Structure 1
Amino acid sequence: MEQGKYSVGLDIGTTKIVAIIGKENEYGKIEILGIGKSKSLGVHRGVVNNITQTIQSIQQAVEQAESNSGLKIGSVVVGIAGQHIRSLQHSDYITRDDSEQVINEDDVDKLCNQVYKLIMLPGEEIIHVLPQEYKIDGQAEIKEPMGMYGARLEANFHVVVGQVSSIKNVGRCIKSAGLDLGSITLEPLASANAVLSQEEKEAGVALIDIGGGTTDLAIFKDGIIRHTAVIPFGGNVITEDIKEGCSIIEKQAELLKIKFGSAWPGENKENEIVSIPGLRGREPKEITLKNLSKIIHARVVEIVEQVYVEIKNYGHDEQKKKLIAGIVLTGGGSQLKHLKQLVEYITGMDTRIGYPNEHLAGDSDEEIASPLYATAVGLLMNALKTKAKSEAIEAEEEELQTQLPENEMNDEATEAETTVVKPEVQRERKSIFDKWSDKLKDFLDNAE
Structure 2
Amino acid sequence: MEKENIAVGLDIGTTKIVAMIGKKNEYGKMEILGIGKAKSLGVHRGVVNNITQTIQSIQQAVQDAETSSGMQIDEVVVGIAGQHIRSLQHSDYITRSDSDEVIDDDDIERLCNQVHKLVMLPGEEIIHVLPQDYKVDGQAEITEPIGMYGGRLEANFHVVVGQVSSIRNIGRCVKSAGLELSGITLEPLASANAVLSQEEKEAGVALIDIGGGTTDLAIFKDGIIRHTAVIPFGGNVITEDIKEGCSIIEKQAELLKIKFGSAWPGENKDNEIVSIPGLRGREPKEITLKNLSKIIHARAVEIIEQVYLEIKNYGHEEQKKKLIAGIVLTGGGAQLQHLKQLVEYITGMDTRIGFPNEHLAGGDSNKEITSPMYATAVGLVLNSLQSKEKKTNANRAMATFDNSQEATATEEMETSEEDVATQTEEKTEKRKGFFDRWAEKFKEFLDNAE
How do 1:33-48 and structure 2 match up within 5 A? 33-48=33-48
Structure 1 segments unaligned to the other structure (5+ residues):
413-448
Q: Percent identity?
A: 81
- 2:373 maps to what in 1? 372
d(CA) in 2 for partners of 1:138 and 1:398?
A: 35
The root-mean-square deviation of aligned C-alpha atoms, in Å, is 1.5
**Residue type of the alignment partner of 1:192:** A
Is structure 2 residue 200 aligned with structure 1 residue 206?
no
- 1:57 maps to what in 2? 57
Is structure 2 residue 322 aligned with structure 1 residue 322?
yes
What is the DSSP-based 3-state SS (H/G/I as helix, E as strand, rest coil) of the residue aligned with 1:367? coil
d(CA) in 2 for partners of 1:213 and 1:69?
A: 29
- Conserved 8 A contact 1:8-1:22: yes
**Residue type of the alignment partner of 2:385:** L
Is structure 2 residue 49 aligned with structure 1 residue 24?
no
What is the DSSP-based 3-state SS (H/G/I as helix, E as strand, rest coil) of the residue aligned with 1:352? strand
Is structure 2 residue 250 aligned with structure 1 residue 250?
yes
Structure 2 segments unaligned to the other structure (5+ residues):
414-450
What is the DSSP-based 3-state SS (H/G/I as helix, E as strand, rest coil) of the residue aligned with 1:368? coil
TM-score of the superposed pair, with normalisation by structure 2: 0.89
d(CA) in 1 for partners of 2:390 and 2:157?
A: 23
How do 1:57-136 and structure 2 match up within 5 A? 57-136=57-136
**Which shows bigger deviation, 150-159 or 29-38?**
150-159
In the TM superposition, what whole-angstrom CA distance separates every residue of 1:21-62 from its partner, at most 9, and x where no partner exists? 111111111111111000000000000110100000001001
Residue-pair matches, total: 412
In the TM superposition, what whole-angstrom CA distance separates every residue of 1:346-368 from its partner, at most 9, and x where no partner exists? 00000000000111111142000
- Conserved 8 A contact 2:343-2:351: yes
User: Residues 153 and 4 of structure 1: is their aligned pair in 2 closer, same or farther, counting only changes over 3 Å?
Assistant: closer
- Conserved 8 A contact 2:263-2:337: yes
- Offset of residue 109 of structure 1: 1.8
d(CA) in 2 for partners of 1:221 and 1:88?
A: 16
- 2:152 maps to what in 1? 152
What is the DSSP-based 3-state SS (H/G/I as helix, E as strand, rest coil) of the residue aligned with 2:320? helix
**Residue type of the alignment partner of 1:389:** K
**Which shows bigger deviation, 399-408 or 231-240?**
399-408
TM-score of the superposed pair, with normalisation by structure 1: 0.89
**Residue type of the alignment partner of 2:140:** A
In the TM superposition, what whole-angstrom CA distance separates every residue of 1:132-151 from its partner, at most 9, and x where no partner exists? 11122222111111222222
What is the DSSP-based 3-state SS (H/G/I as helix, E as strand, rest coil) of the residue aligned with 1:191? helix
d(CA) in 2 for partners of 1:318 and 1:259?
A: 40
- Offset of residue 400 of structure 1: 5.0
- Offset of residue 396 of structure 1: 3.8
What is the DSSP-based 3-state SS (H/G/I as helix, E as strand, rest coil) of the residue aligned with 2:37? strand
In the TM superposition, what whole-angstrom CA distance separates every residue of 1:189-218 from its partner, at most 9, and x where no partner exists? 000000000000000000000000000000
- 2:440 maps to what in 1? none
d(CA) in 2 for partners of 1:66 and 1:271?
A: 48
**Residue type of the alignment partner of 1:372:** M
- Offset of residue 182 of structure 1: 1.1
d(CA) in 1 for partners of 2:344 and 2:69?
A: 41
- Offset of residue 402 of structure 1: 5.0
- Conserved 8 A contact 1:327-1:350: yes
- Conserved 8 A contact 2:11-2:376: yes
**Residue type of the alignment partner of 1:381:** L
- 2:392 maps to what in 1? 391
**Which shows bigger deviation, 36-45 or 99-108?**
99-108
d(CA) in 1 for partners of 2:210 and 2:58?
A: 21
How do 1:254-265 and structure 2 match up within 5 A? 254-265=254-265
How do 1:231-380 and structure 2 match up within 5 A? 231-363=231-363, 364-380=365-381
**Residue type of the alignment partner of 1:10:** L
User: Residues 160 and 40 of structure 1: is their aligned pair in 2 closer, same or farther, counting only changes over 3 Å?
Assistant: same
d(CA) in 2 for partners of 1:133 and 1:249?
A: 51
**Residue type of the alignment partner of 1:366:** K
d(CA) in 2 for partners of 1:149 and 1:128?
A: 27
d(CA) in 2 for partners of 1:299 and 1:70?
A: 43
d(CA) in 2 for partners of 1:115 and 1:337?
A: 43
- 2:218 maps to what in 1? 218
d(CA) in 2 for partners of 1:140 and 1:36?
A: 47
Structure ID, larger Rg: 2
- 1:434 maps to what in 2? none
- Offset of residue 67 of structure 1: 0.7
- Conserved 8 A contact 2:5-2:385: no
- 1:190 maps to what in 2? 190
- Conserved 8 A contact 1:3-1:72: no
d(CA) in 2 for partners of 1:398 and 1:182?
A: 24
d(CA) in 1 for partners of 2:70 and 2:321?
A: 48
d(CA) in 2 for partners of 1:24 and 1:206?
A: 27
**Residue type of the alignment partner of 2:382:** M
d(CA) in 1 for partners of 2:18 and 2:105?
A: 36
In the TM superposition, what whole-angstrom CA distance separates every residue of 1:109-144 from its partner, at most 9, and x where no partner exists? 222111111110001001111111112222211111
d(CA) in 2 for partners of 1:136 and 1:407?
A: 33
What is the DSSP-based 3-state SS (H/G/I as helix, E as strand, rest coil) of the residue aligned with 2:227? strand
